Amino acid sequence: MNTIDKIENKSAVIGIIGLGYVGLPLALAFIEKGFKCIGFDIDQSKVDSITKGKSYIDHIPSGPLAQGVNDGLLEATTDFSRIPEVEAVIMAVPTPLNKHFEPDLSYVTMTMDSVAPYLRKGQIVSLESTTYPGTCEEELKPRIESQGLTVGEDIYLVYSPEREDPGNAHFSSKTIPKVVGGTTPACAEHGKVLYESAISSVIPVSSTQVAEFTKLLENIYRAVNIGLVNELKVAADAMGIDIWEVINAAATKPFGFKAFYPGPGLGGHCIPIDPFYLTWKAREFGIHTRFIELAGEINRSMPKYVVSGTMEALNERKKSLNGSKVLLMGLAYKEDVDDMRESPTFELMDLIKAQGADVHYYDPHIPVISPTREHANWTGYESTEWSAENIASFDVVIIATHHKAFNLQELVESAALIVDTRNALSKNGIEGKPGQVKKA
């Protein structure tokens, strides 16, 4: 029985490497369709949690996960020697930037190096991690073929970019259309069959390079438009104009305009990082992506703009940031999730601490800061207690992320000064006392 037959009759075992915000929901999508799924991760704590049927991601409930474990459809391991047991090897590992804003493919290449010795004929290898066009051809294919396997005949190599949006109640792994590109037509067909077995809509494209570029375009589009509105915010502030009112008015146009909103900086696993993958690759072809780089420069400047606005607001009260007690509300990079990857709140905390302030954070979704690649200095720091008395003890409170769990009414009743970077108060019809609230 060949691989496609096994997928179609659901006897295929699906292997997913990387059990984070992308890999875990994808595993659940496959087991929901009746497939057995083996999850691979180097983090033993994730493996242990799955074995106990407990989710470690805030917006993913434990119920379906525990059901999958109890039904024998889901298991997790750190043992890569079990790769021969699966028909599909789906890699969902981090692709960060290094300190020079260049792609760091070490997680991808190390994973492929760990997997390659265990590959066997008939398997599908799919990369979902965001990367630059050419990664599958230039990095994965040679590593696979170094094992004596021919891509397109023995192994089917595809690229299918993840499109996860943590906390989005309207879309999930199984309903977000899946772009799939193969190294060869045979690879593309195997990838299409694989993903159609669990995802409601699959969009085939002509190559892995097209699929890789597609993911970058999606997030560059967002990064550039957010950069534009961040720049407009700075200009509007200088003119004494409320940019939020401007955006809401413009959004009433039923065509030709899509609303993007300013903020304290970019966060998450995609928008702050992905554009620079294309910028780096474009240099190989003598292309200078000025538009992308300018947007990145503007977006990276926003934390400093917020700190400057905070200092100005304190100065108006005859106080300095140095020596002040500061609370950051919201550590997660977006509302109502526990995902703190690339969160601009970390940058705000670093900048404010460097000014000599006493910095704290409050986030009910993140009670304690776990280790991160870029901000290890905050590891173990705990969310402050929420109480009217505690909030009143801060010289300034900065709303960096707006969670629905926040009690904004109690905030305005207790806080001496609020810097609102998300328009959270106005959006919810809450007015502070005169001079209490500053938008930044």
Q: Which residue among the candidates 37, 136, 187, 270 is catalytic per the annotation?
A: 270
Report the alpha-carbon distance of residue 49 to residue 38 in Å, rounded: 14
Angle between the N-to-C axes of helices 208-239 and 274-283, in degrees from 0 to 180, rounded to the nearest 10: 110
Torsions phi, psi for 407 (to 5 deg): -95, 85
Exposed, middle or buried: residue 39 (CB in 10 Å: 0-12, 13-18, 19+)? Answer: buried
Report the alpha-carbon distance of residue 215 to residue 238 in Å, rounded: 35
Considering only CA atoms, which of 438, 417, 401, 423 is closest in space to residue 309?
438
Element (H, E) at 283: helix 274-283
What percent of the residues of the chain are helix, what percent strand, and what percent coil, each to the nearest 5?
Answer: 40, 15, 45
Length, in residues, of the chain: 440
Our answer to whether residue 270 is catalytic in this structure is yes
Angle between the N-to-C axes of helices 274-283 and 290-315, in degrees from 0 to 180, rounded to the nearest 10: 140
Residue type, 320: S
Residues with a catalytic annotation lie at 270
